[in-house]
Structure 1
Amino acid sequence: MKDFSFLLILVSLSLLGILFPEFFANLKPLILPLLIVIMLSMGLTLTPEDFKEIARKPFIVFYGALLQYTVMPLSGYLLSKLFKLPPELLVGVVLVGSAPGGTASNLITYLSRGDLSYSISMTTTSTLLSPLFTPLWTYVLAGKYVEVPFLSMFETTLKIVIVPVLLGMVLRYFLRYQINKVEKFLPFLAVFSISLIIAVIFALNSKLLKELSFLVLSVVLIHNVLGFLLGYLFGLLAGLDKRKVKALSIEVGMQNSGLSTVLALKYFSKVSALPSAIFSLSQNLIGVVLSLFFRRL
């Protein structure tokens, strides 16, 4: 689909989410089914061969996880210190930086024409490592231990990412001819779905948007952009091909902000959850806009 149509759908639905928050907030139960449909549609474009290189070079997946758990927590901490954020907000920025990769990164990679198998492998790996690294960085940089709900997180990753993708791949294997006929419509389905999800996120955070301070917004946006930028640069330094560089940039830049929000509310305060809520908005919006640029590479 044309990039202009892509951007038009995104902007239109985002504005509607802001203008009609009550209507779009009621669509929150649709987020999970939409994500599952998106991952199923992505699975329809994959074959087992796409994962063979990942199996031959597993170190590139761990390289992505290493970046995820160094670039984001450390840059979040340094930015918080540089901008002299109060302790409660510093904790929130560190916490979202210490979270594993988010499932939305797989969709943005797909829209960017990046290496989807690499993205899915990194998301799964960082989720598996989260019980170690998320509490470790939060303790080292913020001074408090948090307990990551690993089993529920892995179950969510299994239901939203792994099972739908595998089902899509199975359907492609048995119904290759039928899938080829509808494959050209899959990007539109993905774009509409992520735009609707962003509209719902905007609606759910409509009050937050009115209360944002420029300082907190600046720190979160810079943190987010640094993740995308450093992920891209480290991908080039590692000699990865362009499709993997795109995937790595997106994986490092996009966090499981839902997890960090829950942990902030449970172990710290509502103020500490603020950076995660803002990060959720910024990473999706920046990610979709970035995918328009990446599609041209």
Structure 2
Amino acid sequence: MDSGIITIFLPLALAIIMVGLGLELTPKDFARVTQHPKAVLVALFCQLVLLVGIAFVLCKLLALPPLLAVGLMLLAASPGGSTANLFSYLFKGDLALNITLTAINSVIAALTLPLIVNFSIMHFMQDSQQISLQFAKILQVFGIILLPVGIGMLIRRYSPELTKKLNKPLRIFAVIFLLLIIAGAIYSERSNITEYLAQVGLAAVLFCIFSLSIGYFVPRLMNINTAQARASAFEIGIHNSTLAMTIALTVMSSTAVAMPAAVYSIFMYIFAAIFGFLLNRFAPISPRPALSSAQ
């Protein structure tokens, strides 16, 4: 996508959507998450342990070239993307849990991402190159997500009538935005899709399916409710591919390392949308209580 769209329009649009998410939340939602930390711990285990292990196995089984293997491990080590909250918003996940996971993951990634990627470089490439994650990237995630969500929660708390008026337009905007992201991802890589698919397509598809499935079914097996399992699935399935590509292109100076994240960015939105519709079809959730001025 055009750099101006990525640096200006995309964060602004995400911020608007995050305000819409805030309209769905109350402080009680976050209190519930802190009182029941099991969902947070299970989701973090899935992302930091299970998925990293699966990525490593895929690299070995598919015999990926060293640079592509490092790229897939870099993608696996990246935290959930901020658009994961959008999917929870659209497909009735636990928004408070999703936002909590995004915030925690962004902080933990500052420690785990360099460790995982440096191990991958040494294992697959026998290279001594080291990477780090800039603290500014973490602050950017907080700015795009937490501040707008707080604004939305304040609107809900002090102006229920305005909340009702904004809810539907913002939800429609979120759907349109999602469709534009999918179309933009495909269009921006149109000239390279054939080459990308041939080299790392299968690995990206399998990793996407594993990410969404593990993110949902492992929490369900641990008796975590459906809404929280949905939030976990989208948080784990929607990786921050932009961060992964940025590190690959700037810190590591390698387009090959960026390739798995580029391919994944095409598939993840499509697969996550299909996954969300399947969940709505086969594992429906009871509607949220109506808004009231008491909330």
Q: TM-score, normalised by structure 2?
A: 0.87
Residue 132 of structure 1: how far off its partner (Å): 1.2
What amino acid sits opposite 2:46 in the alignment? L
Tell me how far apart the structure 1 counterparts of residues 202 and 108 of structure 2 sit (CA, whole Å): 29
User: How many aligned positions are there?
Assistant: 274
Q: Does 1:274 align with 2:274?
A: no
Tell me how far apart the structure 1 counterparts of residues 188 and 146 of structure 2 sit (CA, whole Å): 27
- The question of whether the paired residues in 2 share the 8 Å contact of 1:253 and 1:283 is answered with yes
Residue 201 of structure 1: how far off its partner (Å): 2.4
1:211 to 184, 187, 195: 195
Tell me how far apart the structure 2 counterparts of residues 131 and 183 of structure 1 sit (CA, whole Å): 34
Q: Please list every run of at least 4 consecutive aligned residues from structure 1 whose deviation after the TM superposition is greater than 6 angstroms.
A: none
Tell me how far apart the structure 2 counterparts of residues 237 and 34 of structure 1 sit (CA, whole Å): 35
The answer to which of 237-246 and 199-208 deviates more is 199-208
Counterpart of 1:52?
31
Tell me how far apart the structure 1 counterparts of residues 253 and 170 of structure 2 sit (CA, whole Å): 41
- The question of whether the paired residues in 2 share the 8 Å contact of 1:69 and 1:100 is answered with no
2:168 to 184, 194, 206: 184
Tell me how far apart the structure 2 counterparts of residues 155 and 179 of structure 1 sit (CA, whole Å): 28
Counterpart of 1:173?
157
Counterpart of 2:60?
81
Counterpart of 2:289?
none
Residue 290 of structure 1: how far off its partner (Å): 1.7
The answer to which of 235-244 and 202-211 deviates more is 202-211
2:119 to 125, 140, 157: 140
- The question of whether the paired residues in 1 share the 8 Å contact of 2:80 and 2:239 is answered with yes
- The question of whether the paired residues in 1 share the 8 Å contact of 2:42 and 2:219 is answered with no
Counterpart of 2:182?
198
Tell me how far apart the structure 1 counterparts of residues 225 and 81 of structure 2 sit (CA, whole Å): 22
Counterpart of 2:19?
40
**CA RMSD of the aligned region, Å?**
1.8
Counterpart of 2:292?
none
Percent of paired sites with the same residue: 26
Q: TM-score, normalised by structure 1?
A: 0.86
Counterpart of 1:285?
270
Counterpart of 1:155?
139
Q: Does 1:227 align with 2:206?
A: no
Tell me how far apart the structure 1 counterparts of residues 253 and 204 of structure 2 sit (CA, whole Å): 18
Tell me how far apart the structure 1 counterparts of residues 91 and 157 of structure 2 sit (CA, whole Å): 24
Tell me how far apart the structure 2 counterparts of residues 133 and 194 of structure 1 sit (CA, whole Å): 29
Tell me how far apart the structure 1 counterparts of residues 206 and 97 of structure 2 sit (CA, whole Å): 25
- The question of whether the paired residues in 2 share the 8 Å contact of 1:61 and 1:125 is answered with no
Residue 160 of structure 1: how far off its partner (Å): 1.1
Tell me how far apart the structure 2 counterparts of residues 213 and 253 of structure 1 sit (CA, whole Å): 19
What amino acid sits opposite 1:228 in the alignment? L
Counterpart of 1:256?
240
Segments of 5+ residues of structure 2 without an aligned counterpart are: 123-128, 285-295
Counterpart of 1:10?
none
Counterpart of 1:8?
none
Counterpart of 2:80?
101
- The question of whether the paired residues in 1 share the 8 Å contact of 2:76 and 2:239 is answered with yes
What amino acid sits opposite 1:140 in the alignment? F
What amino acid sits opposite 1:133 in the alignment? T
Residue 83 of structure 1: how far off its partner (Å): 0.7
Residue 139 of structure 1: how far off its partner (Å): 2.2
Tell me how far apart the structure 2 counterparts of residues 112 and 87 of structure 1 sit (CA, whole Å): 37
Residue 199 of structure 1: how far off its partner (Å): 2.3
What amino acid sits opposite 2:215 in the alignment? G
- The question of whether the paired residues in 2 share the 8 Å contact of 1:68 and 1:126 is answered with no
Segments of 5+ residues of structure 1 without an aligned counterpart are: 1-20
Residue 72 of structure 1: how far off its partner (Å): 2.2
- The question of whether the paired residues in 2 share the 8 Å contact of 1:25 and 1:203 is answered with no
